[in-house]
Amino acid sequence: MIKVSGLSKRYGTHLAVKDASFHISKGEVVGFLGPNGAGKSTIMNILTGYLSLTQGSVEIDGYNIMSDPELAKKRIGYLPEIPPLYLDMTVREYLYFIYNLKKVRFPKKAHIDEIIKLVRITEVSERLIKNLSKGFRQRVGIAAALVGNPDVLILDEPTVGLDPKQIIEIRDLITKLGKNHTIILSSHILSEVQAVCKRVIIINRGHIIADDTAENLSKNLSDDHSLVARIIGREDDVIAVLNSVKDVKSVSCLGELETGSRDYHIEPSEGCDIRAEVSKRLAERGKVILSLRSNELTLEQIFLRLTGEDDMRRYFEAPVNKTEESDVAEDAAASDDNEDKEEI
Amino acid sequence: MGAIYKREMRAYFTSLISYVFFAAFFAIEGLMFAAVYEAGSTTVYAIPFMYPLYLTVFLIPLLTMRTISEDKRQKVDQVLLTAPISVTSLIMGKFWACLSIYAIANAPLLIFQIIVSYHASVNWLLFLYAILGTMLLGATLIAIGIFISSLTESTALAAVLSIVANIVIMFVSSIFELIGIEALTKAASAFALLDRYTSFSDSILKLEDIVYYVTVIAVFIFLSVRSVEKRRWA
């Protein structure tokens, strides 16, 4: 459905997108993930024909965006980062305008009514757009993208600036739309991409640095099967107990996250599952486990690892929300403390 | 183009700008007509060559200042440029909308002419020349205004620049005449819009004048299209 090969975009001397290639088949829901300024919006603007490309080619359903722009654009519904709305029009007038602009052939009123119902803006459909809240404006933007029922939807940060309830509603809507549309959405919020998209393309400084399903990314990159445990008891004792467990390679204390307990990072020998043994041994020695979880990488950590934001990575990997009195924790994590606090 | 035209017309009629525009034109045309009528003259066709001309220079930028700059500022250009229409039809939609407003502003001239025709025989051909000249002049200034609007995101700046440009292109030969450089005056009168315009008022329909106007309009429409497209390549 969408074929991008060797795409580059240069702004003067600045190369915003470097040699990006990917292929999105019909019906896929793909998330573009990347920090602000990574080039997500630039790529989307090129896909929709708003910006030109410096090198490479973009094909939408077989139509080249540069040589057949009108046919390619007809297949795309685009929601830019800031919904492009005429504030002096009512919602219905605006959607009728978009309908005429896109030269849609469906029965006008029925088509627009259906979209209004789908994105749930019925109650504001006769109001001026300038009087609508951010959440409703965002939905009007999505409605405009849906006019003409294009096969491809490109949504640039569709939930930015919305409250949690609206975010959930928009996500549900996107999931619903994903059933019969090809969707690309961008976000710098990782949980959002995880919630809605099966496939994730991670972009940093104009490069595509990963392109896979969220699960695969997490599987491939989390090389260790280490555990994080929260245990009550004296630090020395607990470390001694943990070290006595077979197949434990190393143990380090991460500090006090909850009063009265400490968190420990336990690394097993290659390919060993030590959870049962750890829990048994600690119980025998009267150490209470408050929690025990495997240290699989979340999308956040994958993202930071891939984008190589080292300071940020330490922030996520090492606990930082320690209280002032926990100055006992003098391990590796603590040494990053000052830096991390500044970042917060 | 139809969608853009409709949307622009709607925007004019729901904002104050077009009403200010109409009020100014209607008032001055009405005053002129009263004077002409009082004097017992039938030269209604000559009205547009009098004071409304000076009004045009200042008022057309009011219409054109927001055409493209406002879209850019509000980021609405993203929806327009990603829609399956060409940039040319986008610009033309806006151009025809401006021209329609300008035509409505000049509509009273027709009414005046009809009123006069009850009392005396009028030369409709002369009237037609005058209207044609007026429309061509307006269309030229609109094309220039749209081009200037495509250069900036600020509507105020677009208005000011358009007024300056209009004054220069309209009165360039008069300005040189004032300074007293004869060669330049002669050269400038070849392309000064006003000099072309007055030939219509002299009731001479010259093909070269029409060609001149249409060419200037086409050039500025073309430049506007390039200017909007240029942003894609920036």
Task: Quote the ipTM score.
Answer: 0.86
> pTM of the prediction?
0.79
Contact with chain B for residue A144, Cβ under 8 A = yes
Torsion, Cα of B164, B166, B167, B172 (10° steps): 120
Residue among A48, A86, A100 minimizing CB distance to B82: A48
Q: Chain A contacts of B75, Cβ < 8 Å? A: 80, 82, 84
Give me the phi and psi of A179, to 5 degrees please.
Answer: -70, -30
pLDDT computed for residue B134 by the predictor = 86
User: Which DSSP letter does residue A297 get?
Assistant: P
| B174 or A331, greater pLDDT | B174
Contact B53, B200 (CB under 8 A): no
pLDDT computed for residue A37 by the predictor = 80
Q: Do A84 and B78 touch (CB under 8 A)?
A: yes
Taking CA atoms, what residue in B is nearest to A103? B84
Give me the phi and psi of B123, to 5 degrees please.
Answer: -90, 100
pLDDT(B164) > 50: yes
Q: Chain A contacts of B4, Cβ < 8 Å? A: 101
Contact with chain B for residue A89, Cβ under 8 A = yes
pLDDT computed for residue A203 by the predictor = 87
In A180-304, which ranges are E strands? 182-187, 199-204, 207-213, 227-232, 248-255, 261-268, 288-294
pLDDT computed for residue B169 by the predictor = 84
Contact A72, A57 (CB under 8 A): no
Contact with chain A for residue B233, Cβ under 8 A = yes
pLDDT(A318) > 70: no
- Domain that includes residue B79, residue range: 2-232
* pLDDT band of B198, cuts 50, 70, 90: confident
Element (H, E) at A220: helix A214-221
In chain A, the percentage of residues whose pLDDT exceeds 70 is: 83
Question: How far is A223 from A1, CA to CA, in rounded Å?
Answer: 34
| B60 or A215, greater pLDDT | B60
pLDDT(A93) > 90: yes
pLDDT computed for residue A151 by the predictor = 92
Nearest to A170 by CA among A199, A192, A146: A192
Instruction: Please give the tally of structural domains in chain B.
Output: 1
pLDDT(B147) > 80: yes
Q: Do B2 and A100 touch (CB under 8 A)?
A: yes
**Amino acid identity of B102?**
Y
Give the pLDDT mean for A164-187.
88
Contact with chain A for residue B83, Cβ under 8 A = yes
